[in-house]
Amino acid sequence: MSDFDNIPDELKQHDQWLYWNASNDKPRKPLASPAADYGASWSNPDEWQTFEEVSEGSKTVAEAGIGFVNAANNSNHPRGIYGVIDLDGIIGEDGHPKDWVPSIAPFVDHDAYIEYSPSGEGMHIPIAGAEEPDWWSDEHFSEEEHEGVEYLTNKYATYTGDKLPRAGDEVVEWGDWIKEWLREAYKTVTGSDPLADRTKQVANDATGDSSSTPDEEWFVEEVAEEALKEIDSDCGYKKWRDIGMALSNRFGTSRGGRMFESWSRGSGWDEEAEDQADRIVSDARNYDYDAGTIIHYAQDSGWDATAAAREQLPDRDTVPDKPTVERVDEDSEPPESDTEESTEQDSAGITAVSTLDHYDGGYGYLNTNEDGETWFERVTNFKLDAESFLFKDGTRLIDLTVIPSSGEETYDITVPAKVFNDARRFRDNIVTGLTTTFEGTPSDLNELRKLVGAQPAPVRKGTHHMGLHPGEGEIVTPEGVITADGWTDDPEMAYIEREIAAERAFELSPETHTSVDRDEVASILELLPKTRNSDRFLPVLGWLYTAPFRPYVQDWEGQFNTLHVTGETGAGKSSTLSLAWQLIGMNGDPMACDDTKFALTTAMASTNSIPMWFDEYKPGDMKDWELDRFQTLMRKSTRGGIETRGNADKSTEEYRLASPLMISGEQAVQGAAEERRSIQTRFLENVKQSGSVTREAFSRLTGTAYEKDGETHEPSGYDLHEHAFAYHQFVARQDEATLKKQWKESREYVRDLLTTHGITGVDDLPRQGLQTIHFGLAAFGRFATEVGAESLPTAEEIDNALLYVASQFGDKGSRKSHLDRFLELASRAAAEDYIEEGQHYAVVNFGTPEEEVAIKLSRTFDSVSKYAQDFALDGEDMLNAAKDYRSRIKETGDKAGSYINEASQYTTGLNRCVRIDVSRAAEELQFEPEAFGATPIDDDTDESSKEDQAQRNSNHGHTAIATLAPGRDISFTAEIVNVSDGEYSRRAQGEFEGQAGSRLGWVIPGGNSHVFSARQGQTVRISKATLRTDQDGLKEVVVNDATEVEIVEPTADTQAGLDTAEEATTDGGEEAEAATDGAQGAGAQLKKKVKDELRTEYGPRAECSVAGIAGALDADPTAVETVLADLVTREGLLEETEDGYRRLS
């Protein structure tokens, strides 16, 4: 994309523009015209054109573009010469800069203009006042790859106007921060620091020798102090900081810090500067500033570094007096040289020559002078042996054995090859023994890299995941690699240790198990299913024997079910799962659910097919954040998700959570997402009864005592790791095509089983869990047959186990559906004011047995989703869109006794809504009616108190308004006062006035008719109303479409105030009844006339109004409005509009 308007105006003002054409052999060649096929002399100002000329001219040729000449000989630049940082080939397949590219955040922070190159794979950043550093050279990773960094200061550069979204509009000015950015880029591409090389270059200039002079040997403390005298300490902050960090890194925190403080004590030194200096020194090790930094700044100030080096460098014919130098006597053992043995590496085809010598168990340099004196200048006091070279996700790793010369025990490490780039990183990763030391320089690290890289060692693929790697047909473990034929000495894969608990838990080893005892394995397989109730235990076995095939299942289905075992204390959960874990090669000791996040993450990322077991899952005892942390990782693990962890050096490390998880505890797994993804079984205690078949089988298997026929038996038990070794070989022998066929057959078997037994409502994920059980039990059967086992689970036992698990998921099961969870979430969202009455829902038939909540699904879904996101409720497993719930709502509504009364029914103000039966929803779900403003369900009120309340609210016994108790079905007579529009989502509100002037508030919720419109001052008889307490503790009457309202003539008593219903009947009953009968008769007649008028004069979807119908019938507009409102809410003949009503049918 090109948008030349984005190009900074500052560049447009200069007449230094030319064309380029993408269709030419050299597409980026500068051209004098858009269609030219020959290049322009870009250095000739006579050929340059204005921006307006090239931008218009490029429009005439489809493949033409424009570019700017960064010309050093053009003096018409008030801000100096322009240049361009050209980042080639840096955009990865994901559209983001590749990992090696230094962050462009400094440019963004400076509001720099940045654009994509014509290929879309690079970036261009124009710079004003360009000054190419004397150490700079354009660098690419290789001559073949056009990927790297160039700094164009006297060249032609293309411009596209394809601006980065977060870029600014400024041509930023050259400064030290750009120089530092270029230095980082140079180091990334070349692997070396251009300033660090200055020390060696200065030494070479001083001695005329470029052979083996240690880089920083001459830059001692005295020389550094002389160099600092040439640099003004009252310089800019960046230079001051660089020098402080360089001193700390060169001479150590203590000594370097003192030198920094001594030099800094100029006119700007104060308490704040002292605090800053302390921070700089302490942070220095995280940066690469060193002696070269000081030399660079000192030379810029006129210091003669070459002369200083000449004074310090020793005569190479004299034995140096240094702690790292050892004399080699004639009688000493001849030194070994690794040079010859490491010139060629057979496996990797690498040829490299190192100048390091091996002597006395370490590496260094052997020197002999003209007098025949020989000495060894030590770099390390240990030796490195490369066991293998690994490749993991494009990263080069080396499996090394470190052999200390002190006699300390050797240790194995796996490190990235880049540890040889930096002395600090090398010490932190390799020099970790009790006695190991490294006294070298960056150039020594280069020699060590060559020495190790040229050692003969195999090249393998590295992995952090124990378990099956289908492409290679290998089971990778911390102890070695298992194939179909057992342990192999020449695997394609190699395990990369992380030094975590999961690795220590794996116990199967080539030192203990080298062959399979088929008879022992057969006995284990025959006893195993008999150790527990088959319907509860076979689901565990089915999952356990499928887990080693997880890489296949993950590839076919995208996720893998979790196993969750519950049971009371003493039910034998832990002992059984410990046995199961040992059957796979583990030690039988579980992980903890409340462990640290790092421990949980690394455990779940340690395998891709060997199960990880977490015990003591107790949501009631775990802190909320602990439970949320564990379940978040558990959900990620079922999908094989990625967890990212930051490191101390500000880098990040990714962990792919691929372990099959088995979890045990006394409580069932919480959360809808977790429930649907887990296979749950509950263990019973009866298996442990003395004399039972299950107790005997478990004891014989594990070697524990049991009672039988009045005698105590003490069996020897079986080696469960024999089974592990045999089953891993069995897994490695299986081919994917056959396994996929068997997986499909298991799905078909489960489908037929559910159909046969009439089990419906089992979703895809729970169905995959059943498929997993059947597939695993089939694998168990094939494996058992292969080793000669005979007494195996019957087909009936397998079916019963599948039906036991299926019954939890089906329509009659105890697990909650997506719709159940959505309505529970909606209730919680309403309580938090994420959804509001009148906008998302309405309460219909308030206070009656037919009370409903009408939910506008489309609006409510969006707000509930936001609530779930804001409260980090990602475990609630919501569906993707509101429409995904509609079919479930209809299916649920079709079932007898459902809490869905109507899947779609017209509701005033909201149009079509889902109607929820309040009582049933509250009974079946964690659904709180009061969150919606509906009547609370009081489970604690006994029947007698309910009857008493109903008695009072019906006003038997002449109860006055002030004594009415909150509840449903209250009746009274009152005068309407203070009628007003409702606040928030209410339709209207006001007050009733009662005896002695007492008053009681009333409200009409949104979605109901305004029955009190224009009735202020009238006396009414109210029936079937609800009295509730508002948020301030005040009583108020809720009037809705189910409430009966009658206009009555005030009697002597009612004129004095509010009477109860019975009082009104007693004191003025005849008149009141007559008035009521008359009002009801007139109302019915008017309603018939209005309906006739609508049917004859207004067609479907026609608009109508109160005034129009009242005028046509010569009727009271207030009475007509009451009738129209009734036709909206009760009969569904009309719907309200902004200006009136619309006929529906």
* CATH number of the domain to which 731 belongs: 3.40.50
Residue 294: pLDDT over 60: yes
* β-strands 357-359, 988-993 pairing: unpaired
Is 60 exceeded by the pLDDT of residue 251? Answer: yes
Q: What is the mean pLDDT of residues 7-14?
A: 91
Sign of dihedral through CA atoms 84, 86, 92, 93? positive
pLDDT at residue 815, rounded to an integer: 60
The sheet with strand 1141-1143 has its strands ordered as 1103-1104, 1141-1143, 1134-1136
Q: Can you point out the beta strands (E) in 485-569? A: 486-488, 493-495, 562-566
Q: Say if residue 799 is in the same domain as residue 909.
A: no
- Stretch among 21-35, 724-738, 902-916 having the lowest mean pLDDT: 21-35
pLDDT over 90 percentage in the chain = 32
For the residues 144-154, what does the mean pLDDT come to?
Answer: 80
Question: For 305-323, what is the mean pLDDT?
Answer: 67
Q: How many domains does the chain have?
A: 7
**pLDDT of the residue at 811:** 59
Start-to-end CA span in the chain (Å): 55
Are 660 and 572 in a shared domain? yes
Instruction: Give the tokens for residue 960.
Output: 């006055």
The token pair that represents 677 in the structure block = 């993804």
On whether both 281 and 391 belong to a single domain, the answer is: no
- φ/ψ of 630, rounded to 5, equals -65, -45
- Mean pLDDT, range 873-882, rounded to an integer: 68
Q: Which two tokens stand for residue 19?
A: 């064309």
Order across the sheet with 357-359: list the strands: 325-328, 374-378, 362-368, 357-359
Q: How far apart are CA 60 and CA 66, in angstroms?
A: 12
Domain for residue 812, yes or no?
Answer: no
The Cα–Cα gap between 245 and 229 comes to 17
Lowest mean pLDDT among 232-236, 904-908, 1054-1058: 1054-1058
Distance (Å) of CA 377 to CA 251, 359, 360, 366, 436:
20, 10, 11, 6, 16
Q: Tell me, what's the pLDDT at 1075?
A: 37
Confidence label for 583 from pLDDT (cuts 50, 70 and 90): very high
In the predicted model, what is the mean pLDDT of residues 27-43?
81
Same domain, 620 and 694: yes
pLDDT tens readout for residues 630-680: 988 998 999 999 988 766 555 677 899 999 999 998 877 776 677 778 999
Q: Which residues neighbour 242 within 8 Å (Cβ) at sequence distance 6 or greater?
A: 289, 293, 297
CB of 299 within 8 A of CB of 349? Answer: no
Tell me: do 637 and 608 sit in the same domain. yes
Identify whether residues 99 and 139 lie together within a single domain: yes
Q: What mean pLDDT comes out for the span 858-874?
A: 82
In a domain, 481, yes or no: no
- Bridge partners (DSSP) of residue 31 are 19
In 1090-1145, at which residue ranges do the beta strands (DSSP E only) sit? Answer: 1103-1104, 1134-1136, 1141-1143
Residue type at 577 in one-letter notation: L
Angle in degrees, CA 499, 500, 506, rounded to 5: 100
- Cα 919 to Cα 917: distance, rounded to the nearest angstrom: 6
∠ Cα 444 446 449 (to 5°): 110
| 517/602 same-domain check | yes
Who wins on pLDDT, 442 or 235? Answer: 235
**Both structure tokens of 155:** 């060249």
Query: Taking Cα atoms as reference points, which of 469, 475, 423, 466 lies closest to residue 444?
Result: 423
Q: Does any domain span residue 837?
A: yes
Whole-number pLDDT of residue 1131: 62
Nearest to 993 by CA among 1078, 1049, 914, 1058: 1058
pLDDT confidence tier of residue 313, bands split at 50, 70 and 90: low
**Rounded Cα–Cα distance for residues 597 and 593 (Å):** 10
Cα-flanking dihedrals φ and ψ of residue 982, to 5°? -75, 150
Residue 817: both structure tokens together: 């559906």
* 158 and 54 in a common domain: yes
Q: Could you give the angle at which helices 534-546 and 795-809 cross, rounded to 10 degrees?
A: 90
157-166, 276-285, 1074-1083: least confidently modelled range: 1074-1083
Name the burial class of residue 950, with classes exposed (0-12), middle (13-18) and buried (19+) by CB atoms within 10 angstroms of its CB. middle
Pairing of strands 1035-1038, 83-88: unpaired
Structure confidence by residue, pLDDT tens digits, 343-364: 333 444 455 567 888 999 999 9
C-alpha 782/C-alpha 798 separation (Å) is: 15
Measured in degrees and rounded to the nearest 5, phi and psi for residue 374 equal: -120, 135
CB atoms within 10 A of CB 291: 26
Last residue in a domain, options 807, 841, 867: 807
pLDDT tens digits, 914-957: 999 998 898 888 888 988 988 887 654 444 444 444 444 444 33
Same structural domain for residues 70 and 137?
yes
User: Between these two residues, 787 and 273, which has the higher pLDDT value?
Assistant: 787
Judge if 153 and 54 occupy the same domain: yes
CB 867 within 8 A of CB 829: yes
pLDDT at 334: 55
Across the range 766-783, mean pLDDT stands at 96
Check: CB of residue 1004 under 8 Å from CB of residue 1108. no
Mean pLDDT of 308-319: 66
Residues 525 and 667 both lie in one domain = yes
Give the whole-angstrom CA distance, residue 83 versus residue 157.
Answer: 9
Whether 1024 and 883 map to the same domain: the answer is no
**Residue 9 is inside which H or E element, if any?**
helix 9-12
Whose tokens are 């794979």? That residue is: 121
Cα 527 from Cα 816, distance rounded (Å): 36
Distance, CA of 868 to CA of 880 (rounded, Å): 13
One-letter identity of residue 1120: V
- Mean pLDDT lowest for which of 349-363, 689-703, 1024-1038? 1024-1038
Q: Which amino acid is at 738?
A: T
DSSP, residue by residue, 548-610: GGHHHHHHHHS--PEEEEE--TTS-HHHHHHHHHHTTTB-SPPEETTS-HHHHHHHHTSBSSS
Element spanning 362, H or E: strand 362-368
**753 Ramachandran zone, left/alpha/beta (phi>0; psi -120 to 50):** alpha
**Domain annotation covers residue 293:** yes
Whether residue 957 is contained in a domain is answered as: no
What is the Cα Rg of the chain in Å?
Answer: 42
- Beta strands 1035-1038 and 1019-1029: pairing type? antiparallel
Could you write out the three-class secondary structure of 561-575? CEEEEECCCCCCHHH
Gap between the Cα atoms of 874 and 671, Å rounded:
9
- The CATH code of the domain that includes 1089 is 1.10.10.10
User: Does residue 886 carry a pLDDT above 70?
Assistant: yes
Its domain, for residue 1106, covers: 1083-1143
Residue 556: phi and psi, rounded to 5, are: -75, -40
Residue 575 included in any domain: yes
Lowest mean per-residue pLDDT among 251-260, 323-332, 380-389, 742-751: 323-332
- Residue at a domain's end among 160, 192, 224: 192
| Top-confidence residue, 678 or 306 | 678
> Residue 708 domain-assigned?
yes
pLDDT in the model for residue 78: 55
Spatial CA neighbour of 224 closest among 293, 280, 134, 282: 293
Q: Is the pTM of this model over 0.75?
A: no
For residues 432-450, average pLDDT:
87
Query: Per residue in 489-510, pLDDT tens?
Result: 889 999 988 888 999 999 999 9
Average the pLDDT over 32-38 and give the result.
Answer: 82
pLDDT at 323: 63
Mean pLDDT (the chain) is: 82
Q: Which of 315-319, 401-405, 597-601, 828-832 has the lowest mean pLDDT?
A: 315-319
For tokens 């045999």, the residue is: 726
Residues 6 or more apart in contact with residue 52 via CB below 8 angstroms: none
Burial of 930 (0-12, 13-18, 19+ CB in 10 A): middle
Domain C-terminal end among 192, 221, 254: 192
* Position 214 in a domain: no
- As a whole number, mean pLDDT of residues 133-151 equals 77
